[in-house]
Chain A
């Protein structure tokens, strides 16, 4: 099978369009199938990327013999069901974040991947940005020393799905975004999971031990009601997480708040600190020079890195390739998100 390309199918044309592009671009993969309830749109994308098969029902797509891998970009509440079905059908799976809307589902997905002996990767796309990749390497090498504390923040002002984003774009489409049963959460799982995962991964993916968190839905209900939708998810989440290593992380995310928007992280190390923000392709390192004077250095990583889609294809094509953002690793993130929800519901701190 070495010369044959990895045959990929994508379920969902929302975020799925980026998966399609990724599969169509990698020299070792090709897009062969697109599935969506909106068949016309599925066909449009299939034509664009040269995929021959168009489906309305994902189960028909999974029944294809000549299909090796599947990307799942359907609404959150379908992730677990589709992933497990795809793994059972013998396909590798790249699943959109969040893995699942319930911790138990995420656990089941990981178990199925192990049983089916297939790759399960979660599309933690931000990790693949060159800047974060370079910083991760520096941290792993010890350039920052012992990394003890970090902050991960994504505060949007007027960045709420349905009301602040155009309905036709890939972001914020569909009322499911603001319904707990369908999305699993609001800002926390939509954009929060990216920033939490990113910084958690940077500091070494440590094991969480306690979480104190709050989730608020103070602005969302009124705003989505204005477009005739009943929404019950969080518009802001804030959490403090302690890890078994002694490390700690502060994490906050919001779709909307009466504050200046802010996107960035800070990582505190004993030898140096690092700061990134605003989608920049660079980060700043803070450290002391030989005389002990505080200095700063802007790092602009040169190396081009592979996208998450590329990385997934590489991992499917080469069974020995180390895969980033595996379902097993990302399960820890779901554990924290679950703890955040429980901390809010019970009003208590959660011990993991």
Chain B
């Protein structure tokens, strides 16, 4: 890895969620944004200017073949993640890839294999983990404040939340890989799974429905063939259990949040997207129930800064590595198979 005075040079492919990546790189003291790539070159130019990047490309292959580039962010539609991430890793870049890793499990596994082969960092942008309250709760759990975590539920459901505005690819199975079973479930599941210590999944039983989306998509003049609600239960080799549900639409008010059950205490949080609130449940010394709001003790870093730090210090333990997140991809794939076959899936 070539560095210029200890600063890493980053390039971002995709100007949608990619703009968050650009902001992250541009603000990290030891990183600079040098290249932006998108089919919409005008928009790419505008963002490049905003964040001080010199190079603008239309073709991602030109970006990743830049010599003076250390990091690449892949923030394009889901079906392009694997192809671009693998190409970037092969070109000797560390890669931060948007979630979900890929639209097919085999592709996600190929990304991890390539990262290992290329000896490069591969991280997935599991941004919710980096919220200071989530980081605080993780510290408390690791410290044993909640005791042994045996069970958790995670919800990411919406009413009238089909993302038509975003882009037609969101509701196309080929391009997105799935609806909320992929888009929202990845966050919902990953968050509690990570808080529980990332155990190894053994069994998955789940369902996916598309009861409302097809008609809504047709009304919006778009072909939609993804699910609008997914739910499932996962058991792990530790005996721990997770229930999660994710939906873009359903005739029930939406809910974002989780509940974590421990032998000495519990936690719950809600409103991941806006203003995250978290509470910890425990008993006081006299055995009386006490609920206390959780306050972050550290400021925490965002996912982009964490990635840059991990690229600067190769010995640092990196959160949400491709290797770790492929377990999430396995579970979501199993959910899919459980629906298709009607059977429980053994992992």
Chain B residues whose CB sits within 8 angstroms of the CB of A269 once the complex forms: 251
Nearest CB on A from B156, distance (A): 14
Interface string of A228-270 (1 = CB under 8 A from B): 0000000010111010001010101000011110000010111
Nearest CB on A from B203, distance (A): 5
Q: Given contacts A268-B250, A294-B159, are A347 and B235 in contact (CB under 8 A)? A: yes
Q: How many residues on A have C-beta within 8 angstroms of the other chain's C-beta atoms?
A: 47
Question: Is the pair B239, A149 in contact by a Cβ cutoff of 8 Å?
Answer: no
Nearest CB on A from B139, distance (A): 18
Q: Given contacts A248-B231, A347-B235, are A260 and B206 in contact (CB under 8 A)? A: no
Chain B residues whose CB sits within 8 angstroms of the CB of A351 once the complex forms: 343-344
**Is residue A66 contacting chain B, with contact meaning CB distance below 8 A?**
no
Question: Is the pair B245, A250 in contact by a Cβ cutoff of 8 Å?
Answer: yes
Interface string of B75-98 (1 = CB under 8 A from A): 000000000000000000000000
CB-CB contacts below 8 Å: B146-162 with A: 146, 148, 150-151, 153, 159-160
Nearest CB on A from B301, distance (A): 29
Interface string of B222-254 (1 = CB under 8 A from A): 000000010111010001010101000011110
Chain B residues whose CB sits within 8 angstroms of the CB of A286 once the complex forms: 159, 251-253
Chain A residues whose CB sits within 8 angstroms of the CB of B241 once the complex forms: 214, 238
Nearest CB on B from A278, distance (A): 16
CB-CB contacts below 8 Å: B320-335 with A: none
Question: Is the pair B233, A218 in contact by a Cβ cutoff of 8 Å?
Answer: no
Q: Given contacts A238-B243, A268-B252, are A348 and B203 in contact (CB under 8 A)? A: yes
**Is residue A272 contacting chain B, with contact meaning CB distance below 8 A?**
yes
Nearest CB on B from A248, distance (A): 4
Interface of B: prevailing SS? strand
A248 CA / B206 CA spacing, docked (Å):
8
The residue in chain B whose Cβ has the minimal distance to the Cβ of A155 is: B259
Interface string of B246-284 (1 = CB under 8 A from A): 000011110000010111111010000000000001110
Q: Given contacts A214-B241, A250-B243, are A146 and B211 in contact (CB under 8 A)? A: yes
Question: Is the pair B231, A250 in contact by a Cβ cutoff of 8 Å?
Answer: yes
Chain A residues whose CB sits within 8 angstroms of the CB of B235 once the complex forms: 212, 214, 347, 349
Nearest CB on A from B132, distance (A): 22
**Is residue B68 contacting chain A, with contact meaning CB distance below 8 A?**
no
Question: Is the pair A210, B250 in contact by a Cβ cutoff of 8 Å?
Answer: no
Chain B residues whose CB sits within 8 angstroms of the CB of A157 once the complex forms: 281, 289
Question: Is the pair B261, A240 in contact by a Cβ cutoff of 8 Å?
Answer: no
**Is residue B105 contacting chain A, with contact meaning CB distance below 8 A?**
no
Question: Is the pair A212, B252 in contact by a Cβ cutoff of 8 Å?
Answer: no
CB-CB contacts below 8 Å: A254-296 with B: 257-260, 266, 268-273, 275, 286-288, 294, 296
**Is residue A323 contacting chain B, with contact meaning CB distance below 8 A?**
no
A257 CA / B241 CA spacing, docked (Å):
15
Question: Is the pair B343, A210 in contact by a Cβ cutoff of 8 Å?
Answer: yes
Question: Is the pair B204, A212 in contact by a Cβ cutoff of 8 Å?
Answer: yes
- A252, A275, A287: most-surrounded residue (chain B CB, <10 A): A252
Chain A residues whose CB sits within 8 angstroms of the CB of B140 once the complex forms: none
Q: What is the interface of chain B, defined by CB distance below 8 A to chain A?
A: 146, 148, 150-151, 153, 159-160, 202-207, 209, 211-212, 229, 231-233, 235, 239, 241, 243, 245, 250-253, 259, 261-266, 268, 281-283, 289, 291, 342-346
Given A250-B233, A288-B251, 10 more pairs with CB closer than 8 A: A149-B231, A158-B289, A210-B344, A212-B204, A213-B233, A214-B235, A214-B239, A236-B151, A258-B261, A273-B251
Q: What is the interface of chain A, defined by CB distance below 8 A to chain B?
A: 144, 146, 148-149, 151, 157-158, 209-214, 216, 218-219, 236, 238-240, 242, 246, 248, 250, 252, 257-260, 266, 268-273, 275, 286-288, 294, 296, 347-351
18 contacts between A and B (CB under 8 A): A212-B204, A212-B344, A214-B239, A218-B150, A218-B263, A248-B206, A252-B243, A257-B266, A258-B265, A258-B281, A259-B259, A266-B252, A268-B250, A269-B251, A286-B159, A347-B235, A349-B203, A349-B235
